[in-house]
């Protein structure tokens, strides 16, 4: 029998980023005001900006280490289900967080924060490939499946806080609009849903 989808853990993993985006929008706005605010913040706090850049550059690679450790431990313990889980994660991330994200970016042609001019659909130009946030899609697609697999509220919320930090770092660094990050959250949630469903089906005896 198919077990109920662990929606509460998926929500816990997404909630911190949703809350951060909501607070940011309420306090700063949703357009040029956000870009200007964080640009001024970066100029005033260069050391903190470096730390945020480390987070945005290494947040997703850190999850590669986590999944590699899962495979290593699973092989030692002769646990084929965990190996399948990681293989499905890799395949779905390649299809959604890499391929689909790039197709949408190119098709939408949205300008990045601070870039003048209208959207340019079907553009391969980086400054016009803002929507969605690939970093956010990938980090959600990595963390949410773990939250649903472990099903521990504290772990799900901790993973959610990491998702929020990596996702919002893209806004803070002026690389994405808040709505780009929200779109990344939605696509990453789709990846997590697919990973969980496939893993659940293939893991059923």
pLDDT along the chain (205 residues), means of 10: 84 98 93 93 97 98 98 96 97 97 97 92 94 98 98 98 98 96 98 95 50
pLDDT at 89: 98
* pLDDT at 202 (0 to 100): 47
Burial of 73 (0-12, 13-18, 19+ CB in 10 A): exposed
Q: What is the pLDDT of residue 27?
A: 95
- Predicted confidence at residue 200, as pLDDT, reads 84
Which pLDDT score is estimated for 177? Answer: 96
What residue ranges do the domains of the chain occupy?
50-203
- Which of 171, 168, 177 shows the shortest CA–CA distance to 128? 177
- The predicted structure's pLDDT at residue 2: 61
């Amino acid at each position: 029998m198919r077990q109920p989808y662990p929606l509460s853990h998926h929500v816990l993993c997404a909630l911190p980023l949703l809350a951060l985006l909501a607070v940011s929008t309420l306090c700063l706005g949703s357009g040029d005001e956000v870009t200007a605010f964080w640009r001024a913040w970066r100029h005033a706090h260069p050391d903190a900006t470096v730390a945020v850049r480390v987070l945005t550059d290494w947040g997703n690679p850190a999850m590669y280490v986590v999944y590699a450790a899962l495979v290593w431990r699973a092989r030692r313990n002769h646990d084929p289900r965990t190996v399948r889980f990681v293989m499905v994660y890799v395949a779905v991330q390649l299809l959604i967080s890499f391929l689909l994200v790039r197709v949408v970016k190119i098709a939408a042609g949205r300008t990045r924060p601070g870039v003048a001019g209208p959207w340019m659909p079907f553009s391969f130009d980086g400054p016009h490939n803002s929507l969605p946030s690939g970093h956010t899609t990938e980090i959600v697609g990595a963390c949410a499946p773990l939250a649903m697999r472990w099903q521990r509220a504290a772990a799900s919320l901790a993973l959610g806080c990491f998702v929020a930090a990596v996702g919002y770092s893209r806004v803070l660094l002026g690389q994405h609009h808040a709505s780009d990050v929200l779109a990344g959250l939605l696509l990453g949630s789709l990846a997590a849903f697919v990973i969980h469903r496939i893993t659940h089906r293939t893991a059923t005896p």
